[in-house]
Amino acid sequence: MKKMSDAMSLLINLNLAAIKINKKLDRSLGLHGISFSEYMALHFLYSESTQVMSRIALAECLGMTASGVTRLLNPMEKIHLVEKQKNPRDARVSLVKLTLTGATLYEDASTSFRHISDSTVSDVRQYQMESILEVLKKL
């Protein structure tokens, strides 16, 4: 077998690290009844001044397809974390709004997220985190 290039090794190791981190975050956020993917959806909605986004815009933020974001949001709608909202200017555009319940859950889950984030990178120095972030921004 041929030796892997540094680029190939980098991408494989980034992917393996992401899988490992996602599992750890899913376990931690599971205590709040949500997955990391659901937390990220709440995060992007919470970050909007109106806490409303089109489903397409949310899908783009999450790196998902429109149908993928619909599958993610349907169970969240059932437990009243988000709700559908009509677009008064364009009936073809489907909007999703963060509910008060969703905002409260996001704030509570963010405490757990902060703790698990800090513990996950506890052995990484600040200058190393800055270097990693610089590299990731280039990808």
CA 134 to chain centre: 20
Q: CB-based contacts of 133: which residues, under 8 Å, 6+ apart?
A: none
Mean pLDDT of the chain, nearest integer: 94
Under CATH, to which class is 6-113 assigned? mainly alpha
121 forms beta bridges with: none
For 83-132, how does the pLDDT look when each residue is reduced to its tens digit (9 = 90+)? 999 877 777 778 999 999 999 999 999 999 999 999 999 999 999 999 99
Q: What is the pTM of this model?
A: 0.89
DSSP character for 88?
Answer: S
Q: CB-based contacts of 97: which residues, under 8 Å, 6+ apart?
A: 45, 51, 52, 82, 83, 84, 85
H helix and E strand count, the chain? 6, 3
